[in-house]
């Protein structure tokens, strides 16, 4: 098959000494970032993105995706040891992971978490290897209206499927679109929405928004709870690792089920967090050990971690093949691709084969390297979190500021970072979701371009979005996703209540 | 991990902040609306004018913000009780104020000196560390940052008068 050949080319690219070094460095940085509050997947990638400007796009994406892996693994460390979820989708890991740590079984919990993550991610990468080229080939037929339909579907999914109140999601998303529109209008070359401020000429950069909203905002939220991180110590020695590995195959059914849930949900936008919860809930109901969930049951760690990593990885599939990211971190990676001059989407597979398959190959290797690194370095990473907050907080702030500055070498961006930070804190507390804001900021220009091109072709008639079966069905899916809560309610009412 | 005693939980009410945020987003929507009209929202010779898309975005924002305002007031959204207790807000402010000062100093003093000050303030004021322990870290971290960013990655960070004086 052509794909296998491409994949081996990709491995050849990745297995150069420089790229291997970047992989290891990326993973280590990623784990550290995943362990620290205020940094973490999207923010960490955003801060380190400007460092990669001097590298070739292939090397850069290898390092960045390894940072992403590392952050995924690192989030599990804080969830198990400190009951602090490193990422929203690590919340379900705390349910059983932390009780295990409290019972002195931290090493077992961590090994189970890391290994499950490895398996989930591996499954997802296999899916990407096989499915992404097919999707990309299919998507080559997409015209402007279809492209807009895909964006429409993505954003409607956020509104309909997220747990935040829909109108707040709409506001957050639209704010992102509005911010994306500030500055130079790409299609006409005119300035808009700058109100005469020269600082706004370049518009709002999504990297600054991510660092502020997710980084500074997160630190401020953490501050509310006080300055202490009290956690359990972990001892991962080879004996514990092998013991746990011997035990894990018992949960093969849960694993496979979680992989499928994770992949399926990860491909749809906003999928990683619900995937981990859903997988935990289903495992609890279906497992013979379900009653022990919540008290420190290994299966209660396997289920969410497998699903979350499968989802987090498969979020890269629509990003690569369609140009639509499924998560904020995928959005940042997509932004990075745009900065390097690459067009994510179906053409990427045709025009930039070395890049795409190098990235996919690095996902396999990065996964393996990541597992090895975390299994050996947990005590060091846990020790980092014991650094007292008054010391670590300003260091994180300085890192965020450096990250914000290095995007455009513009001190104003550092100011904007703080503004976004306070905004993120307030919005999060009021239940406004931040992920759609960031996605809209990253995709706003592209979505608008597709919209306007489609309208240009149809001379301003909106019927272009229902003009053929393809775009019509995409738009219909979008509308279903948008009104999903109402549909669910309606169906529940129609179903007769069982007699109790 | 909160150490609040539940008898003393007062703070600005959640309702107030929710209303404030909804009004703010409403205002933002109006600003975008006006800005869109400024550049034209109808059809021109080049197709939709630049203001076309943002105009409808702003309409969405205005309508959704109004709905949020209504929901907050009818009690559908929002949590009861305080937004944060004064104690929590005090802690948050203890990070926000030095950070804002840091960000304001960076254009004038450069990033390295400002970072030294920020870490120093955090460690002595918030952490209660002695100067003996503070100075090595407060100076050490920016120095490491200098080596990593300026020398290894060749990325220039903002510098101020002290760096010029040192000839960096």
Choose from B8-17, B48-57, B154-163 the range with maximum mean pLDDT.
B48-57
3-state DSSP call for residue B166? helix
Instruction: Verify that B96 and B158 share a domain, yes or no.
Output: yes
The alpha-carbon gap from A400 to the nearest alpha carbon of chain B, in Å, equals 11
Q: What b/e readout covers A222-251, taking b as 16+ CB neighbours within 10 angstroms?
A: bbbebbebebbebebeeebbeebeeebeeb
Residue A332's contacts (CB-CB under 8 Å, 6 or more residues apart) are A42, A45, A46, A49, A206, A207, A210, A438, A442
* B160 assigned to some structural domain: yes
Residue B127 pLDDT > 50? yes
Tell me what ipTM this predicted complex has: 0.84
* B50 assigned to some structural domain: yes
Instruction: Verify that B103 and B57 share a domain, yes or no.
Output: no
**What does residue A206 show for φ and ψ, rounded to 5 degrees?**
-65, -30
- Rounded Cα distance between A29 and A35, Å, is 10
- Single out the residue in B73, B106, B128 at which a domain terminates: B73
pLDDT of residue B3: 43
Instruction: Verify that B162 and B123 share a domain, yes or no.
Output: yes
- The answer for A280, left when phi > 0, alpha when psi is -120 to 50, beta otherwise, is alpha
Q: Is the dihedral of CA A19, A22, A28, A30 positive or negative?
A: negative
* B110 assigned to some structural domain: yes
Burial of residue B5 (CB within 10 Å: 0-12, 13-18, 19+) is: exposed
Instruction: Verify that B111 and B155 share a domain, yes or no.
Output: yes
Number of residues that make up chain A: 500
Interface of A with B in 226-285 (CB under 8 A): 226-228, 230
Whether residue B106 and residue A168 make contact (CB cut-off 8 A), yes or no, is no
**Residue of B60, B79, B21 whose CA lies nearest to A444:** B60
Q: What b/e readout covers A70-85, taking b as 16+ CB neighbours within 10 angstroms?
A: bbbbbbbbbbbbbbbb
* B67 assigned to some structural domain: yes
Residue B121 pLDDT > 80? yes
Question: Among partner residues A226, A402, A429, which is closest to B83 by beta-carbon distance?
Answer: A429
Residue B5 pLDDT > 50? no
Query: Which residues form the domain of B60?
Result: 10-73
Instruction: Verify that B98 and B66 share a domain, yes or no.
Output: no
* B79 assigned to some structural domain: no
Tens of each residue's pLDDT in chain A, 500 residues: 667 777 887 788 778 888 888 888 888 888 887 777 667 667 778 888 877 777 888 888 888 888 888 887 877 887 887 777 767 777 788 888 888 888 878 888 888 888 888 998 899 888 888 888 888 778 777 888 888 888 888 788 777 766 678 888 899 999 999 998 888 887 777 788 877 777 777 778 888 888 888 878 877 877 776 655 555 666 667 777 788 888 888 888 888 988 888 887 777 665 667 777 778 878 887 888 777 777 788 888 888 889 888 888 888 888 888 888 877 778 888 888 888 878 887 888 878 877 888 888 888 888 888 888 888 877 777 677 677 777 878 888 888 888 888 877 888 888 889 999 999 888 888 888 887 888 888 888 888 888 888 888 877 777 778 888 888 888 888 888 788 777 877 888 877 665 54
pLDDT digits (tens, 9 = 90+) for A460-492: 777 778 888 888 888 888 888 788 777 877 888
Instruction: Verify that B100 and B160 share a domain, yes or no.
Output: yes
**What does residue B43 show for φ and ψ, rounded to 5 degrees?**
-95, 135
Beta bridge partners of A191: A184
Residue A1's contacts (CB-CB under 8 Å, 6 or more residues apart) are none
DSSP string for A253-273: HHHHHHHHHHHHHHHSTT-HH
Angle between helices A17-35 and A353-385 (to 10 degrees): 40
Question: Among partner residues B65, B99, B107, which is closest to A397 by beta-carbon distance?
Answer: B99
The alpha-carbon gap from A325 to the nearest alpha carbon of chain B, in Å, equals 21
Instruction: Verify that B69 and B103 share a domain, yes or no.
Output: no
**What does residue B82 show for φ and ψ, rounded to 5 degrees?**
-75, 150
Whether residue A54 and residue B60 make contact (CB cut-off 8 A), yes or no, is no
**What does residue B44 show for φ and ψ, rounded to 5 degrees?**
-120, -165
Question: Among partner residues B28, B71, B106, which is closest to A175 by beta-carbon distance?
Answer: B28
Residue A385's contacts (CB-CB under 8 Å, 6 or more residues apart) are A35, A36, A78, A81, A82, A229, A231
Q: Which residue of B has its CA nearest to A391?
A: B123
Tell me if A440 sits within 8 A of A177, measured CB to CB: yes
pLDDT digits (tens, 9 = 90+) for A144-188: 888 888 888 878 877 776 667 888 889 999 999 999 888 888 777
* B82 assigned to some structural domain: no
Question: Among partner residues A171, A395, A397, which is closest to B61 by beta-carbon distance?
Answer: A171
DSSP string for A197-209: -GGGGG---HHHH
* B3 assigned to some structural domain: no
- Rounded Cα distance between A288 and A292, Å, is 9
* B130 assigned to some structural domain: yes
- Single out the residue in B73, B106, B121 at which a domain terminates: B73
CA A174 to chain centre: 20
3-state DSSP call for residue A436? helix
pLDDT of residue A1: 60
- Single out the residue in B73, B100, B122 at which a domain terminates: B73
Contacts with A421 from chain B: Cβ below 8 Å: 99
Average pLDDT, rounded, for chain A: 81
Residue B132 pLDDT > 50? yes
Tally A–B CB contacts below 8 A.
188
Beta bridge partners of B44: B47
Instruction: Verify that B67 and B96 share a domain, yes or no.
Output: no
Query: Which two tokens mark B82?
Result: 């305080």
Q: Which residue of A has its CA nearest to B141?
A: A395
Contacts with B146 from chain A: Cβ below 8 Å: none
Output Rg (C-alpha) for chain A, integer angstroms. 22
Tell me if A246 sits within 8 A of A454, measured CB to CB: no
Q: Is the dihedral of CA A63, A65, A70, A75 positive or negative?
A: positive
pLDDT of residue B2: 43
Tell me if B99 sits within 8 A of A397, measured CB to CB: yes
- Rounded Cα distance between A225 and A219, Å, is 10
Question: Among partner residues B48, B71, B88, which is closest to A224 by beta-carbon distance?
Answer: B88
pLDDT digits (tens, 9 = 90+) for A236-253: 677 777 888 888 888 888
Instruction: Give how many domains chain B has, as a whole number.
Output: 2
pLDDT of residue B26: 92
Instruction: Verify that B107 and B50 share a domain, yes or no.
Output: no
Whether residue B122 and residue A219 make contact (CB cut-off 8 A), yes or no, is no
Beta bridge partners of A184: A191
Instruction: Verify that B110 and B160 share a domain, yes or no.
Output: yes
Whether residue B49 and residue A220 make contact (CB cut-off 8 A), yes or no, is no
Q: Is A51 on the interface with B (CB under 8 A)?
A: yes
Instruction: Verify that B95 and B50 share a domain, yes or no.
Output: no
- Rounded Cα distance between A293 and A4, Å, is 41
Whether residue B50 and residue A402 make contact (CB cut-off 8 A), yes or no, is no
- Rounded Cα distance between A179 and A445, Å, is 10
Contacts with B95 from chain A: Cβ below 8 Å: 219-220, 223, 393
Q: Which residue of A has its CA nearest to B25?
A: A171
Instruction: Verify that B96 and B68 share a domain, yes or no.
Output: no
Question: Among partner residues B1, B71, B115, which is closest to A398 by beta-carbon distance?
Answer: B115
């Amino acid at each position: 098959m052509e794909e296998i050949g491409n994949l081996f080319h990709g491995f050849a690219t990745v297995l150069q000494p420089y790229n291997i070094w970047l992989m290891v460095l990326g993973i280590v940085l990623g784990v550290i970032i995943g362990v620290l509050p205020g940094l973490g997947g999207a923010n960490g990638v955003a801060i380190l993105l400007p460092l990669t400007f001097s590298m070739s796009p292939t090397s850069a994406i290898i390092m960045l995706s390894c940072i992403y892996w590392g952050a995924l693994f690192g989030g599990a460390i804080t969830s198990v040891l400190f009951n602090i979820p490193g990422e929203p989708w690590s919340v379900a890991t705390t349910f059983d992971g932390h009780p295990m740590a409290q019972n002195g079984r931290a090493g077992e919990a961590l090994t189970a978490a890391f290994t499950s993550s490895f398996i989930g991610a591996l499954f997802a990468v296999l899916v990407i290897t096989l499915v992404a080229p097919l999707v990309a080939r299919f998507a080559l037929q997409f015209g402007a209206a279809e492209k807009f339909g895909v964006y429409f579907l993505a954003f409607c999914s956020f509104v309909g499927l997220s747990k935040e109140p829909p109108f707040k999601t709409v506001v957050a998303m639209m704010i992102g679109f509005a911010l994306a529109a500030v500055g130079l209008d790409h299609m006409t070359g005119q300035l808009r929405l700058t109100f005469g401020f020269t600082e706004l000429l370049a518009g709002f950069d999504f990297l600054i928004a991510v660092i502020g909203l997710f980084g500074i905002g997160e630190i401020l939220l953490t501050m509310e709870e006080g300055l202490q991180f009290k956690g359990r110590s972990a001892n991962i020695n080879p004996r514990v690792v092998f013991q746990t590995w011997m035990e894990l195959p018992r949960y093969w059914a849960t694993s496979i089920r979680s992989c499928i849930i994770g992949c399926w949900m990860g491909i749809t936008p906003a999928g990683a967090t619900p995937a981990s919860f859903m997988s935990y809930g289903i495992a609890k109901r279906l497992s013979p050990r379900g009653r022990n969930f919540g008290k420190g049951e290994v299966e209660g760690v396997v289920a969410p971690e497998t699903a979350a990593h499968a989802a987090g990885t498969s979020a890269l599939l629509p990003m690569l093949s369609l140009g639509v990211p499924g998560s904020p971190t995928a959005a940042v990676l997509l932004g990075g691709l745009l900065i390097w001059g690459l067009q994510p989407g179906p053409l990427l597979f045709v025009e930039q084969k070395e890049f795409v398959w190098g990235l996919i190959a690095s996902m396999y290797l990065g996964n393996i390297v990541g597992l090895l690194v975390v299994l050996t370095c947990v005590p060091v990473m846990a020790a980092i979190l014991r650094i007292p907050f008054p010391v670590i907080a300003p260091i994180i702030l300085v890192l965020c500021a450096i990250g914000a500055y290095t995007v455009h070498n513009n001190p104003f961006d550092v100011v904007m970072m703080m503004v976004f930070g306070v905004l993120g804190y307030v919005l999060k507390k009021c239940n406004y979701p931040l992920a759609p804001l960031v996605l809209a900021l990253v995709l706003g220009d592209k979505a608008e371009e597709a919209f306007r091109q489609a309208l240009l072709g149809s001379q301003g008639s909106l019927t272009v979005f229902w003009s053929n079966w393809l775009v019509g069905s995409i738009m219909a899916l979008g509308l279903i996703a948008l009104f999903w809560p109402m549909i669910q309610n309606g169906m529940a009412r129609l179903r007769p209540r069982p007699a109790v | 991990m909160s150490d609040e005693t539940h008898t003393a939980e007062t703070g600005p009410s959640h309702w107030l902040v929710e209303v404030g945020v909804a009004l703010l987003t409403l205002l933002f929507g109006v600003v975008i609306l006006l800005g869109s009209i400024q550049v034209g929202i109808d059809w021109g010779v080049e197709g939709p004018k630049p203001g076309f898309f943002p105009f409808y975005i702003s309409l969405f924002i205005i309508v959704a913000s109004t709905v949020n305002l209504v929901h907050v007031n009818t009690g559908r959204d929002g949590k009861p009780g305080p937004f944060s207790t004064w104690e929590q807000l005090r802690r948050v402010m203890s990070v926000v104020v030095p950070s804002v000062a840091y960000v304001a100093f960076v254009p004038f003093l450069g990033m390295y000196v400002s970072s030294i000050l920020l870490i120093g303030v955090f460690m002595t004021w918030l952490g209660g560390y002695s100067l003996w322990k503070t100075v090595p870290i407060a100076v050490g971290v920016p120095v490491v940052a200098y080596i990593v960013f300026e020398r290894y990655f060749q990325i220039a960070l903002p510098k101020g008068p002290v760096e010029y004086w040192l000839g960096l």
